[in-house]
Amino acid sequence: MQTQIEVQGQIVESKEPGLMDLFRQDVQRWIEPGRISDPGLVTGGKMLKLFLRHYQLRATLLFRFGAWCHQKRIRGFPSIIQRMLSLLYGLEIAMSQEIGGGLYIAHPYGTVIMPARIGKNCSIVHNVTIGLRNEWDFPVIGDEVFIGAGARVLGGIVIGDGAKIGANAVVIEDVPARATVVGVPARVISVGR
């Protein structure tokens, strides 16, 4: 998909990442656990090996395909894929929202991901809920955010880039960039640089 952006006063065409571009970024998170690997390490053989070994990566590819179908306005497929993800992997994830590359879902079972937007290289552990609170308003999650097991990120809040959300935290207020939050309700315990 081509979009127009303004760069130094000139309109230029910008290509948004496609299905396989985003999935390659997702695979980078699985080559070396805990790291974002060099894109040059993502070969077809490596992708296939990791795809066959990790059911979490199969769920991620299925999500990416559903999101691609939604973007291309292929009727019916996104809802079928959403049901498949729920039945096969226990994962509920919005096909219509922007979710950046490098998505790492450690354990999809019991996880609900319904954001306004998620940035690049976000890590989501088991049994996380990202969604609305009291109104039809959803969280915006920045780049390189870690969300621990059992955490709840609720409402029209903003989670800053590089934030870390501790296990079982209930986040109902904005989180600054590079902050670590824990507790119910979540409170900031540190802010990194």
Q: Quick: pLDDT tens for 69-87.
A: 999 999 999 999 999 999 9
Q: Quick: pLDDT tens for 159-193.
A: 999 999 999 999 999 999 999 999 999 999 999 87
Rounded Cα gap, residues 119 and 141, in angstroms: 6
Domain 2-191 - what CATH class? mainly beta
Q: Quick: pLDDT tens for 2-29.
A: 445 555 566 655 567 788 899 999 999 9
Contact 191, 178 (CB under 8 A): yes
What is residue 2's predicted lDDT score, i.e. its pLDDT?
44
Contact 54, 107 (CB under 8 A): no
Q: Which two tokens stand for residue 78?
A: 């996104």
Contact 93, 113 (CB under 8 A): yes
Domain ranges of the chain: 2-191
- Answer yes or no: is pLDDT of 58 > 80: yes
Contact 188, 172 (CB under 8 A): no
What is residue 1's predicted lDDT score, i.e. its pLDDT?
44
What is residue 84's predicted lDDT score, i.e. its pLDDT?
95
Q: Which two tokens stand for residue 192?
A: 């990194």
The fraction of the chain above a pLDDT of 90, given in percent, is: 73
Average pLDDT over residues 112-123: 95
Residue whose C-alpha is closest to residue 108's, from 83, 125, 121, 123: 125
- Answer yes or no: is pLDDT of 32 > 90: no
